[in-house]
């Protein structure tokens, strides 16, 4: 739910700004050109389809990942970008090998082998055996309730919230794993909530480094079977046996740039990498190939923005926001970080209808005004502007530096969202019309950011950034993730 982060007098000023913006139609002619070009010439759906069929998954550090980097580089070149580059960096990369999960009563040989996938950054080698302790939704209060039972045992936790309390906030799988380690568990079994025997992967590490215990995922149906079995046999044990690979590798972000009339910068970015269980068509083919098509549109229309635009495709997001952390690190090193006026993140962006301004309420009037101009081009645009900050995507490193961040608000069908990080995230999930909507409306929002005379949200200093994160309820998660840098416990 929307939270007001600013004193009443600032809200009043924002409302005055809104009324000042409201009658301004300066962007409408260009919005119309963007709309016409995308509807006629968009290649987002087609290039995503080609990439998923010719490359497959885009796991960071894998040969497929390298092919995806080159594919994106060549596509920017094809679209006319002379200023396109690789940003290389070295990281520790995790890749799965083998994993098995056997569930067995303590006093019986009647074991069952359960279909399972490893969560990323699990140990290179691990074999653990222990009694299964159900920690429900895997929140801190759930672990606290069984703190006298969990040490030396294997935790069983839901990925999503099941029968959660009103307003209750879920934790990321990595944060639930961190709690399992904190409370002394020797392993964690996470349970997917998507029906259809869907297995889900993703990182179980809050830092992007190897964790101390094996972490795995099982399907909703397997979770229900184990829990029903536990009602009959309260001494049910799990045996997790896994092998994985972790090694230093070189990866590359891909960056294409349209120089602006000033040295101020707008970054539009999304992660190109995906997990390896499927082709990553929705996560994040939707976002990254939308970005490339927006770049195509801007080049076709010969747009010369007031602010420089960087189109950035990050690698390593799935393994700990590695690419976006590298971009921010380079911006700080080259003393360019203060030039970045906004970072727009596209992660599974589809069928766009509005904008989330990431907790920066002072941007609401600006985007409402922009949305009213978009509606003059297409009245179906809902112009829904929200303000809520979250974590675990590539905006996070920018937000932690006080840079205003946001994301186009879109819609995903339950069949698409249910396959995120899973073995069903393939191109058949993608709807061309919805993807094109994501391209044209995101392109209009980007154009407004790059060409507005002034943007009402400024870079926050360290202490105001801290206050924003606290107001948005993110402090506890950032402490768990070891990303809280203000020295408070």
Among 405, 383, 385, smallest CA distance to 474 is for 405
Determine which helix (DSSP H) or strand (DSSP E) holds 266, and give its type and residue range. strand 265-271
Q: How far apart are CA 402 and CA 383, in angstroms?
A: 26
Which tokens in the block code for residue 388?
């809520």
**Contact (CB, 8 A) for 417 and 284:** no
Model pLDDT, residue 22: 43
pLDDT of residue 489: 55
Q: How long a stretch of residues is the chain?
A: 489
d(CA 305, CA 299): 11
For residue 194, the tally of other CB atoms under 10 A from its CB is 20
Q: Give pLDDT, residue 12.
A: 42
Task: Give the pairing type, strands 154-158 and 84-105.
Answer: unpaired
CATH (residue range 8-83+259-480): 3.40.630.10
In contact, 320 and 207? CB cutoff 8 Å: yes
Answer yes or no: CATH 3.40.50.1100 is held by domain 96-245.
no
Selection from 98, 89, 226, 82 nearest residue 154 by Cα: 226
The burial of 433, by beta-carbon neighbours within 10 Å (0-12 exposed, 13-18 middle, 19 or more buried), is given as exposed
Average pLDDT along the chain, 489 residues, taken 10 residues at a time: 37 43 79 98 98 97 96 98 96 93 84 96 97 98 98 98 93 96 98 96 93 98 97 94 95 98 98 97 98 98 98 96 97 98 98 98 98 98 98 98 98 92 96 98 98 97 97 94 85
- Looking at residue 257, its pLDDT comes to 98
Does this model's pTM top 0.85? My answer is yes
DSSP 85-140: EEEEEEEEEEEEEEEEEEEEETT-S--EEE--EEPBT--SEEEEEEEEEE-TT--H
Q: Is the peptide bond before 284 cis (omega within 30 degrees of 0)?
A: yes
Choose among 138, 179, 134, 169: nearest CA to 154: 134
| Alpha-carbon span 374 to 383, nearest angstrom | 8
pLDDT at 488: 67
Distance (Å, whole) CA 42 – CA 329: 33
Q: Centre a 10 Å sphere on the Cβ of residue 9 and count the other Cβ atoms it contains.
A: 8
Distances (CA, A) of 232 to 114, 235, 241: 18, 9, 25
CA dist 165 and 162 (Å) reads 9
How does DSSP assign 321-379, residue by residue?
SHHHHHHHHHHHHTT-GGGEEEEEE-SS--S--EEE-TT-GGGHHHHHHHHHHHHHH-T
Please report, to the nearest 10 degrees, the dihedral formed by the alpha carbons of residues 285, 288, 293, 294 taken in order. 140
- The H or E element containing residue 283 is none
Which pLDDT belongs to residue 93? 86
What confidence score (pLDDT) does residue 208 get?
86
Nearest to 406 by CA among 338, 344, 468: 344
Kindly report, as residue ranges, where domains of CATH 3.40.630.10 are found in the chain.
8-83+259-480
Phi, psi of 284, rounded to the nearest 5 degrees? -125, 45
- DSSP code for 281: I
CATH 3.50.30.30 residue ranges for the chain: 96-245
């Amino acid at each position: 739910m929307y939270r007001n982060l600013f004193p009443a007098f600032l809200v009043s000023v924002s409302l005055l700004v809104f009324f000042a913006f409201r009658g301004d139609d300066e962007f409408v002619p260009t919005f119309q050109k963007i709309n016409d070009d995308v509807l006629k010439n968009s290649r987002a759906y087609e290039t995503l389809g080609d990439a998923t069929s010719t490359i497959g998954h885009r796991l960071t550090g894998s040969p497929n990942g390298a092919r995806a980097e080159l594919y994106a580089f060549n596509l920017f070149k094809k679209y006319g970008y002379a200023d396109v580059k690789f940003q290389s960096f070295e990281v520790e990369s995790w890749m799965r090998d083998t994993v098995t999960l056997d569930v067995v009563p303590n006093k019986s040989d009647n074991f069952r082998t359960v279909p399972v996938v490893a969560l990323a950054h699990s140990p290179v080698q691990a074999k653990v055996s222990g009694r299964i302790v159900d920690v429900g939704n895997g929140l801190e209060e759930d672990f606290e309730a069984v703190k006298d039972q969990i040490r030396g045992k294997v935790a069983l936790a839901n990925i999503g919230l099941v029968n959660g309390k009103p307003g209750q906030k879920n934790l990321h799988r990595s944060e639930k794993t961190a709690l399992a380690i904190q409370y002394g568990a020797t392993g964690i079994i996470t349970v997917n909530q998507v029906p259809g025997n869907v297995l889900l992967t993703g990182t179980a590490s809050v830092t992007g480094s190897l964790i101390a215990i094996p972490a795995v995922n099982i399907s909703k149906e397997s979770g229900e079977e184990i829990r029903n079995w536990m009602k009959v046999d309260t001494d049910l044990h799990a045996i997790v046996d896994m092998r994985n690979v972790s090694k230093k590798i070189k990866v590359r972000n891909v960056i294409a740039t349209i120089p602006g009339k000033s040295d101020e910068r707008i970054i539009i970015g999304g992660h190109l990498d995906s997990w390896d269980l499927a082709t990553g068509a929705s996560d994040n083919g939707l976002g990254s190939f939308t970005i490339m098509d927006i770049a195509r549109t801007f080049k076709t229309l010969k747009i010369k923005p007031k602010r420089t635009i960087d189109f950035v495709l990050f690698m390593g997001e799935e393994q700990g926001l590695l690419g976006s952390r590298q971009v921010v690190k380079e911006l700080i090193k080259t003393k360019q970080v203060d030039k970045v006026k906004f970072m727009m993140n596209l992660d599974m962006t589809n069928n766009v209808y509005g904008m989330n301004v990431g907790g920066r309420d002072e941007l609401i009037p600006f985007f409402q005004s922009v949305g009213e101009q978009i509606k003059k081009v297409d009245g179906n645009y809902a112009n829904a502007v929200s303000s809520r900050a979250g974590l675990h995507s590539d905006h996070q490193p920018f937000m932690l530096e006080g840079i205003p961040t946001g994301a186009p608000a879109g819609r995903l069908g339950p069949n698409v969202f249910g396959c995120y990080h899973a073995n069903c995230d393939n191109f058949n999930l993608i709807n061309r019309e919805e993807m094109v909507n994501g391209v044209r409306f995101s392109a209009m929002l980007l154009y407004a950011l790059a060409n507005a005379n002034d943007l009402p949200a400024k870079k926050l200093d360290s202490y105001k950034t801290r206050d924003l994160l606290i107001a948005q309820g993110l402090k506890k998660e950032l402490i768990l993730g070891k990303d809280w840098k203000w020295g408070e416990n």
